[in-house]
Amino acid sequence: MCLSTRPIAALVAALALTVGLSLTGSPAVARSDEGPVAAEASDVSVAADTYTWKNARIDGGGFVPGIVFNRSEKNLAYARTDIGGAYRWDQAGKKWTPLLDWVDWDRWGWSGVVSLASDTADPDNVYAAVGTYTNSWDPTNGAVLRSSDRGASWKAATLPFKLGGNMPGRGMGERLAVDPNKNSVLYLGAPSGNGLWRSTDSGTTWSEVTAFPNPGNYAQDPSDTSGYGNDNQGIVWVTFDERSGSAGSVTQDIYVGVADKANTVYRSTDGGSTWSRIAGQPTGYLAHKGVLDSSTGHLYLTLSDTGGPYDGAKGQIWRYDTESGAWTDISPVAEADTYYGFSGLSVDRQAPGTLMATGYSSWWPDTQIFRSTDSGATWTQAWDYTSYPNRSNRYTMDVSSVPWLSWGAVPSPPETAPKLGWMTESLEIDPFDSNRMMYGTGATVYGTENLTSWDSGGQFKITPMVKGLEETAVNDLASPPSGAPLLSALGDIGGFRHTDLDAVPAMMFTSPNLDSTTSLDFAEASPGTVVRVGNADAAPHIGFSTDNGANWFQGSEPAGVTGGGTVAAAADGSGFVWSPDGAAVHHTTGYGNSWTASAGIPAGATVESDRKNPRKFYGFKAGTFYVSTDGGATFTAKAKGLPTEGNVRFKALPGTEGDIWLAGGAPAGAYGLWRSTDSGTSFTEFSGVDQADSVGFGKAAAGASYQTVFVSAKIGGVRGIFRSTDAGATWTRINDDAHQWAWTGAAITGDPRVHGRVYVSTNGRGIQIGESSDTGGGDPDPDPDPDPTEPPAEADCSVTYKVTNQWSGGFQAEVTVTNTGSTAYDGWQLGWSFPGDQKVTQMWNASHRQEGAKVTATNVGWNGKVAPGSSVGFGFTGTSTGGDSEPDAFTLDGDACTVG
């Protein structure tokens, strides 16, 4: 079973509109070459609020097709994911730091990373080639992002074509490479017949290398008409021979891999001016990787009969002697005995002649990893058969930090649980440490720190090295009023019961195991009763729990069911309504021992339950709202004129009968937020909401008469996550430009027990948790007016300034301004002077100007209003040569603030 973020998980969201761990300081922000885009002015109340964000910990969950170590600085490493952005390794915390959380709704495709490159000459530079699909599913062209501060901030060069971080062949590479001798020169291998591209100005501009003769011709499935399987996988890797150049001059010998089974490797010996096919190369295969060991002069190729990452039935490994021109088949297994292709490939930079490779598509009984210490003349492998089906492993595995990686399985030999992996297209030996190796799978990053025990006859220890890397596609979320605070429905790995949001759950939902959970619900008045539905190769597609999701049992299902669809539980748990894929809407009493088709509602409708009346259920499809008052047996069409297209979601308010909020639509038609207070007979649209895609509820603010409403929406011209504590009369944006996570339209819910807490779905960055600084939701008993005889306070503002990250020559800082007065700010300017030579280079959530040491930060359009007792935050990166001493005085609109 593939446990990456599979194409289908992304495509569902892609066709609708698109498809963790808290950072130290603010995460990365992006700038286009034209400068930041100003937020549009809001015509509703879009106040400022201060939220902190983190992931509900799962640790992994999706495909990691690329790991890149910098070869000049120890412990500097990056990882790329197919739909969940890029990460930088934090050695001190042994965790990954997300770098692309700033990717916004309109450019959601930039969360797919097809390649990464870390600059050997200047380790501060890192590049990412981004874009999720090369066909119409992705509305934007690809881009090459560049950062001079290790991913803390970015600039973008948009390309004249699309890139495919979640396309077939995405495990090949790396397609993006920096010339190790002249780091202003970069190459990018493009898909879709777009050829080889080059930049000579550090990624600012790009042009096609017109002299390159072959744009590739291999497609996974030429008969596919969608543009997915039939896309030409193009130029798939670029490798330099650094020996053929010197510092400041371009490298002369460059090798390029092409998706062409007859012509898979090309070379230039004149710095990229001319190119030719290397004679004598293997044919009939695609070179997934090409890695050059400069100590021996050997270029190694791992080859497969397909582009992967799922398929591949035959493979080889070849060595090319760059001095003599001799090709040698060094395959560790005879071609006739392979049932998989080779992909992952790395050489030990500390031990010339040592290399490793993976049989990436060996799904059963396990993946295989191969190792040679003599340039491929002989090999050993991570596991061997003793007497079939028993096997002997050269490794041990400890997944106690991420226990769900066993899938709760107890397989028969030769399978094991946990598995060594699957889809193992990335494997890298640390260039500074022969004992450390990391490799990516379809669900995690594994690694070891005693790799050389392999060679001495001992066992090396494999553990997950994935903390902080959260790559799951979230389909649904629920936060019951008692029991676990969060239940999740996830693509590929089913979902979890999160009893501790900061701990990795012991196991995903089992009994039944579902490839992807599409919908879940609990009984509002009996939260121990939970139901979930999802996709699987065969029945069952539904599971029930009577203990709040701790344990499950599978239910029966109607004939014809092919997928999960949506499901709803009666408010008291007495029955359920299910709208599965492949069959009509059905209802049941009890736990699904038998199902009866519901009347009056079309197949494929989205279903939900009333959260107070156990006999009342709701449905929606194609602009019409449906209501049942008899437990789902019959439905009646009620309100019409609602959105007929797009991603439409609706929820009923807990504890109140008939109060329904509906979000969704598409730009070409109706698109917004509606509310019904008469059980769906009529709906009223919120005029101040431009667009909305999901809605949920949380604990009411102190003194408020209505539960807090959360939406993923566009309000006042600004896309974001918003909340309202007054039933939608006013809205507060609670995320910021550094926390956008691309597409967030699948699900959102507040926590009924903690005011302000919100859970947000993403399509590749897991479950985001927002915590409000306003934990009390306002002061219901404000202090009386101050005694006029007492001296006034120093100021109506308080400022905290914190340096959150530092590196050689630079730093990152966060600033929070709190309104300590009795009247709201309506626009603000914060001023300070640096005590040293610091210079602001990039600021987010505020604009800035600097004259000498003096800095003035000014609100942007959406965060100018700051209510009494509320806070507003912004962040920035800067340069410094003499230390990052913090300012000790601040002024707001010219008046002194207290410093916290």
Known catalytic residues are: 82, 492
State the Cα–Cα distance between residues 591 and 609, nearest whole angstrom.
16
Cα→Cα distances 571→373, 474, 577, 676, 696, Å: 64, 24, 12, 19, 17
3-state helix, strand, coil in the chain (%, to 5): 5, 40, 60
Task: Show the CA angle centred on residue 737, arms to residues 736 and 740, nearest 5°.
Answer: 85
Give the residues across from 391 on adjacent strands. Answer: 385
State the Cα–Cα distance between residues 538 and 892, nearest whole angstrom.
63
State the Cα–Cα distance between residues 405 and 467, nearest whole angstrom.
13
> How many other C-beta atoms can be found within 10 angstroms of the C-beta atom of residue 591?
19
Task: Show the CA angle centred on residue 103, arms to residues 645 and 831, nearest 5°.
Answer: 125
Structure-token pair, residue 749: 């819910």
Cα→Cα distances 689→36, 104, 293, 663, 694, Å: 24, 18, 58, 10, 12
State the Cα–Cα distance between residues 722 and 709, nearest whole angstrom.
8
Strands 758-760 and 768-772 turn out to be antiparallel
Q: 280: which DSSP letter?
A: T
CB 477 within 8 A of CB 759: yes
3-state secondary structure of 826: strand
Which positions ≥6 away from 792 have C-beta within 8 Å? Answer: none
Question: Phi and psi for 138 in degrees, rounded to 5?
Answer: -100, 120
3-state secondary structure of 805: strand
State the Cα–Cα distance between residues 270 and 250, nearest whole angstrom.
9
CB 817 within 8 A of CB 866: yes
State the Cα–Cα distance between residues 809 and 680, nearest whole angstrom.
60
State the Cα–Cα distance between residues 357 and 360, nearest whole angstrom.
9
Structure-token pair, residue 498: 């999160």
Q: How many Cα atoms sit within 13 Å of 229 on the Cβ side?
A: 10
CB 80 within 8 A of CB 86: yes
Cα→Cα distances 723→53, 689, 708, 709, 728, Å: 15, 12, 7, 5, 8
* Type of residue found at 478: A
Q: What is the 3-state secondary structure (H, E, C) of 425-491?
A: CEEEECCCCCCCEEEECCCCEEEECCHHHHCCCCCEEEEECCCCCECCEEEEEECCCCCCCEEEEEC
State the Cα–Cα distance between residues 95 and 97, nearest whole angstrom.
7
3-state secondary structure of 335: helix
Which positions ≥6 away from 268 have C-beta within 8 Å? Answer: 252, 253, 254, 256, 274, 275, 276
CB 860 within 8 A of CB 874: no
> CA 528: distance to chain centroid?
31
> Smallest Cα–Cα separation from 232: which of 261, 274, 197, 198?
261
State the Cα–Cα distance between residues 617 and 630, nearest whole angstrom.
8
Which positions ≥6 away from 781 have C-beta within 8 Å? Answer: none
